[in-house]
Amino acid sequence: MQTIINKVELRNLRIEDYKELRLTMQHAYKEVDMDMEEPYWGEQDIKRLLKIFPEGQLVVLVDGKVVGSALSLIVDYKKATANHTYEKITGNYTFSTHDYDAEVLYGIDVFIDPNYRGLRLGRRLYDARKELCEQLNLKSIIFAGRMPNYNENSEDTTPKEYIEKVRLKEIHDPVLAFQLSNDFHVIKVMRNYLDGDKDSQDYAALMEWNNIYYDKSPVLINARKSVVRLGLVQWQMRPLANVEALFEQAEFFIDAVSGYGSDFALFPELFVAPLMADFNHLSEADAIREIARYCEPIRKRFQEMAISYNINIITGSMPMVEDGNLYNVGFLCKRDGTYEMYTKIHITPNEVSYWGMVGGSEIKTFDTDCGKIGIMICYDVEFPELARLMADEGMDILFVPFLTDTQNGYTRVKHCAQARAIENECYVAIAGCVGNLPGVNNMDIQYAQTAVFTPSDFSFPSNGIKAEATPNTEMTIIVDVDLDLLKELHEFGSVRILKDRRQDLYRIKKQPVTKPEPKSESLTEIHMEGIEVPKPAPARTPRVTGTTKVTPTRKTPAATKTNTLPRATNTPRAPRVSPAKPAPTGTGTEIKSTKRQVKG
């Protein structure tokens, strides 16, 4: 190797380079034990290659001199992976197997002048091949690699054992070791691939590098995005006169984040809680069941806004009654007009004792125009099995609407969400409610800091936090996340958590479950100290106060208006008067606990 190098250049091969190319090939194959009359391509061969596929022929130059090259064709995947010989795959050296409509970049030759080895010029050629494979949207790079040191080890080692020993660095093979270090994997061993290759005893290792960006059916319109913009709403709990006031405030945020080109809008868990104020004279369990009647109208209005503002909306969560059971559910309202429902799986002790909630029974991911996503409600993110099951289905982004009343609860949600991002190599977006709500029992204080978390590797923030909102302040955060970085992480990360799992030792899977039995519509149950006390639903207290008017801050587009509501918008609110404490005995007696319990 020359001692001083002024310039290294990598470019496409030109016919004017042929004389230097031929000399380099002669030097490269001089010491190879092969029965070949002329170990180099003829000038007519190179002309033919440059005519049919000029972009696939690469050279590397040092100070203007050709010192290495990589030559390629595009061939059919089935032909490339079937047993074949070098002569057959090149069309008897005519390159007639080249097909621009095929899926594989097939390497027919790569060589470096021995005087210039050690400069990693071969790696440059392979990196350029990979870039070409991605640009042409090809499935993979395939070639058959020689095993030049196999002849020395063939007496006591089969080709398969030889390859494994090279992989474990027990045996050194300059060709195989180089390919394996460049993220190629062995498909199979082929015999009689290159006639006369005595060093390899005519064996070759068929190897492949997969293009993680390959799209089998590329489209120009509605193509899936690689960079996705998230709009997260940190919602201020405030008194609301009616459900229209809720819609007005929600639409303000949807308008804002969609105006910045967001692909998703995420609302917090139970952000509809202010609507319980009208039922504060009832028990907590009855009050939340009263606002469950709004579930369907809220879903319909958000569905309309998803279309109107061209954005996918994750509606946080809200109570829903089905077969007499109370669930915590939300909706993914897609901008194409469709929607899907998700349910909270794990119910906190607080939600059971105060509201009598039950958990859902379906774990699933959702296909969107921005990739596959998962949605968990608050407490669910503290159970790592759920996220791992979703990651196995290809989840790129996990959305977590949450509601926590204290910093302790928020800390659990935050750190568990961050752990889910790292261990599942995905983005996790969390959004919560802030502020005080003195007019609603069991919902008086909230604490939140909305954020987006990332995996932990060089392509991501060093602390794993892409963005954070100001704690306990109503606001939005707009965040871009790059899904291509996740693909690179899965394949080439410093650590590869999903790929390196020992599934020969352990694995998790979904279990078949049945829904809870339907409950009677006429009774609710209160659980206290392990005793179930049936209680008739109380009669509705007449409302005697006047209406509260909320001045709208912006006008809602007519396209998203609806006149179908479960109650009149001017219903007067009942006075905030604590009922007299009844004796804690007797069937049908209402029992209220004064002990506060944390949420989240």
Three-state SS at 165:
helix
No. of helices (H) and no. of strands (E), the chain: 14, 23
Which helix (H) or strand (E) segment holds residue 235: the answer is strand 227-236
Find how far residue 562's CA is from the centre of its chain: 35
Distance CA 546, CA 445 (A): 26
Pairing of strands 264-266, 312-314: parallel
The answer to whether residues 238 and 435 touch, using CB atoms and an 8 Å cutoff, is yes
DSSP character string of 427-452: EEEEEEEEEE-TTSTT-SEE----EE
Find how far residue 411's CA is from the centre of its chain: 23
Distance CA 27, CA 5 (A): 20
DSSP character string of 447-496: ----EEE--SSTTS-TTSEEEEPPTTS-EEEEEEEEHHHHHHHHHH-SS-
Distance CA 573, CA 113 (A): 87
Catalytic residue positions? 269, 344, 378
Pairing of strands 312-314, 325-333: antiparallel
Distance CA 193, CA 201 (A): 10
Closest CA relative to residue 176, chosen from 196, 156, 205, 140: 205
Helix axes 43-52, 18-28, angle to 10 degrees: 110
Residue whose structure tokens are 């960006």: 213
Distance CA 359, CA 348 (A): 9
Helix axes 174-181, 159-167, angle to 10 degrees: 60
Backbone phi, psi, residue 145, to 5°: -95, 135
Partner residues linked to 203 by β-bridges: 191
Distance CA 321, CA 356 (A): 11
Closest CA relative to residue 34, chosen from 109, 142, 114, 146: 146
Pairing of strands 318-322, 312-314: unpaired
Closest CA relative to residue 592, chosen from 273, 278, 353: 353
In 57-103, at which residue ranges do the beta strands (DSSP E only) sit? Answer: 58-62, 65-75
Distance CA 333, CA 331 (A): 6
46 Cβ contact list (under 8 Å, min separation 6): 13, 15, 18, 21, 57
Three-state SS at 75:
strand
519: left (phi over 0), alpha (psi -120 to 50) or beta: beta
Q: Which sign, positive or negative, has the C-alpha torsion 27, 163, 207, 214?
A: negative
**DSSP character at residue 345:** -
